[in-house]
Amino acid sequence: MAAVAGSVLRGLLRRQLSAQSQPLLSFRAMSSAAEQPPASHSYETLKVSRVREKVFHVELNRPDKRNAMNAVFWREMVVCFNKIAQDSECHAVVVSGAGKLFTAGIDLMEMGSVFVMVEGDDTARKAWNLRKKLREYQESFTVLERCPKPVIAAVHGGCVGGGVDLISACDIRYCTQDAWFQIKEVDIGLAADVGTLQRLPRIIGNQSLVNELAFTARKMMAPEAESSGLVSRVFQDKQAMLEGAFELAADIAGKSPVAVQGTKVNLVYSRDHSVPEGLRYMATWNMSMLQTEDLMKSAQAALEKKSPKDVLYSKM
């Protein structure tokens, strides 16, 4: 079977290359990207930089406030990741926190008034406006999930409240050995409302553990986070973790964007739908995506025992 498949691929490649000869180019032959903010990414609460070829680093950047999430942060996350989703120069993203910890969660000093001083002439109108505001906050993390570029969370120190909402919307999670995670909302009199209760059970796959964490607000330390499946790797310190996350992102970014982004879109869709629905969606997706030149370029590289990183894929 492998010999037949190889023969078919060689035949396809000969026909493709005879119609359009295009030599493989190496990314290594191209000048490396400077570690500087990409164009149009200027924020108060976020710092965006290009750290590898087609890899962006988004830092929560309020270290003096322990990266607490204020009103500006919620807006800027949507703007930032909507831009990244459309940016053909970015194929993977790493999200981390500046300073001593990933995030302390919601900035209660600033955000408290948003929930207490709700506009409206009566209970119904106040409730309507509060629901609208909550949906806006939910979008701040749903935008990570909807972004077709894989998003890697790199957590050090504490990841509290809204931080768990944030990383639950990411595709891959790394942490340091001193990291801890806490669904803090019950301790401040509310149920987590921007994603944790919806996404975490699907990530961990242990409803009893999720319920325990959500009901008690106890801390989950790094070893338990790894054993439960919340994170896939634990590193000795922040520097080692970031290097590992950047290398992972670079590996992903070096592959066909058609393949990677199509994989993410279908993984998210299949998570929320039945197997038959997911298969139908996949067939419809690939009826066009399988016609990409990336398939031929990748097959040629495989036959020549080259890495996908040695292929110059078109922008997407």
Give the active site residues.
106, 162, 165, 185, 193
Per-residue 3-state assignment (H helix, E strand, C coil) for 74-142? HHHHHHHHHHHHHCCCCCEEEEEECCCCCECCECHHHHHHHHHCCCCCCHHHHHHHHHHHHHHHHHHHH
* CA angle in degrees (0–180, nearest 5) for 36-41-46: 90
Nearest alpha carbon to residue 115 among 95, 132, 91, 98: 132
CB–CB of 55/106 below 8 Å?
no
Six-digit token string for 25: 């180019």
Nearest alpha carbon to residue 36 among 57, 6, 13, 17: 57
The strand pairing partners of 103, in sequence order, are 159
Cα radius of gyration rounded to whole Å, the chain: 22
Nearest alpha carbon to residue 167 among 146, 129, 196: 196
